[in-house]
């Protein structure tokens, strides 16, 4: 039994560290030309990403070893701090607009994206507030207030991708907590209706759906990113063009070190390299849920499963977008895409999972 615990923890740690190191390597490759053009330096992205990685792992270690990680009061405070930051983002002069979304708070040369942090905060707060009801219905109106408050604030930015990831992770927690399937069926139909309204209410979302259906209808406009992503993936073949030899990073694929970095990886390492990345994510998922099942604590199980669901669903969305299976939306690839908020959030989830893996009796 102890041997299995050790194997699960080792597999989880190795896959997480490996994905981050791969991300660091390919942030440099994907962003080298972009850095030369915009900063006259091929290395600004890897330097910043290296700093983000050190900070992220340090925070993960604090969460792993800290007793407060098990306390509901910690998650409550963290949740309300992120809510305050989401409100601050909407204040002119504090929130910064990028790519049409007012989602960042600028801090000198760096910036933070509160929508990333609230995903982790909500999982911890929601899972901590769900009580083991011993077969009784766990339904509480407060659970939905916790979910809808940050969801509404994020949609004001607007950021549909982060909202969907957060809600899916929250619903995984509610499902595991014992909410009935009939509830999710009703909620699913309501959600589809709300999703249609959101799309209709925003012309740019309609354009994204149209470009998803037929990107060649506007190849130099709305369909440009999707087409260029496929132009990166398809020629990669089985083994790719070799590290650093991407063609699409030469300003064909906008900001290739960010949301579409998986396209560059597939172009440079081919089917073999892309499959290896996906296998690492699969190992991460299986080991995380293995850890969750063996926590022997109801709250720890819910938090761990919620954190794992957040990472894996975000991975599914990102890979689905870059491969043309899903409409384009601004979602980073966990561990790998360039960006401090995304990397820190992912490692906070890792640190939380490891806390309950190593300290089961806290």
Note the Cα 215 to chain centre separation in Å: 25
Output the pLDDT for position 190: 77
How far from each other are the two terminal CA atoms of the chain, in whole angstroms? Answer: 20
Contact of 224 with 231, CB cutoff 8 Å? no
Percentage of the chain lying above the pLDDT 90 cut:
50
- This prediction's pTM: 0.91
Helix (H), strand (E), coil (C) string for 49-102: HHHHHHHHHHHHHHHHHCHHHHCHHHHHHHHHHHHHHHHHHCCECCEEEECCEE
Residue 170 belongs to what domain range?
Answer: 2-358
Q: Which of 122-126, 132-136, 195-199 tops mean pLDDT?
A: 122-126
Q: Which two tokens stand for residue 319?
A: 């890979």
Per the structure, how many domains does the chain have? 1
pLDDT digits (tens, 9 = 90+) for 289-302: 999 999 878 889 99
Cα–Cα distance list, 118 to 65, 123, 125 (Å):
21, 8, 10
- More confident of the two residues 20 and 175: 20
Task: Report the candidate in 149, 87, 84, 79 with the shortest Cα–Cα distance to residue 121.
Answer: 79
Cα 262–Cα 165–Cα 226 angle in degrees, nearest 5: 35
| pLDDT band at residue 95 under the 50/70/90 scheme | confident
């Amino acid at each position: 039994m102890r041997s299995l615990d050790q194997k699960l923890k080792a597999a989880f740690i190795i896959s997480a560290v490996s994905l981050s190191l791969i991300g660091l390597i390919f942030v440099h490759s994907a962003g080298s030309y972009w850095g030369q053009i915009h900063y006259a330096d091929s290395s600004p992205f890897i330097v910043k990403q290296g700093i983000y990685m050190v900070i992220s792992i340090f925070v993960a270690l604090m969460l792993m070893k800290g007793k407060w990680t098990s306390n509901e009061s910690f998650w409550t405070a963290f949740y309300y701090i992120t809510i305050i930051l989401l409100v601050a983002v909407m204040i002119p002069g504090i929130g910064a607009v990028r790519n049409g979304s007012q989602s960042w708070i600028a801090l000198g040369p760096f910036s933070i994206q509160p929508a990333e942090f609230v995903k982790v905060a909500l999982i911890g707060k929601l899972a901590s507030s769900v009580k083991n009801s011993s077969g009784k219905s766990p339904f509480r109106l407060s659970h939905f207030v916790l979910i809808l408050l940050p969801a509404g604030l994020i949609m004001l930015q607007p950021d549909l991708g982060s909202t969907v990831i957060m809600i899916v992770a929250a619903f995984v927690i509610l499902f595991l907590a014992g909410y009935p399937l009939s509830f999710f069926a009703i909620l699913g139909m309501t959600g589809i209706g709300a999703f249609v309204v959101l799309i209709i209410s925003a012309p740019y979302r309609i354009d994204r759906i149209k470009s998803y259906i037929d990107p060649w209808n506007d190849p130099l406009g709305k369909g440009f990113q999707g087409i260029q992503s496929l132009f990166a993936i398809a020629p990669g073949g089985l083994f790719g063009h070799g590290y650093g030899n991407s063609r699409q990073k030469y300003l064909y694929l906008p900001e290739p070190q960010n949301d579409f970095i998986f396209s560059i990886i597939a172009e440079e390492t081919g089917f073999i390299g892309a499959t290896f990345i996906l296998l690492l994510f699969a190992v991460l998922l299986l080991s995380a849920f293995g850890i969750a099942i063996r926590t022997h604590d109801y709250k720890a199980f819910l938090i761990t499963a919620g954190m794992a669901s957040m990472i894996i669903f975000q991975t599914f969305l990102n890979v689905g977008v870059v491969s043309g299976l899903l409409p384009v939306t601004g979602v980073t690839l966990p561990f790998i895409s360039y960006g401090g908020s995304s990397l820190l959030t992912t490692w906070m989830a890792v640190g939380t999972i490891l806390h309950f893996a190593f300290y089961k009796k806290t």
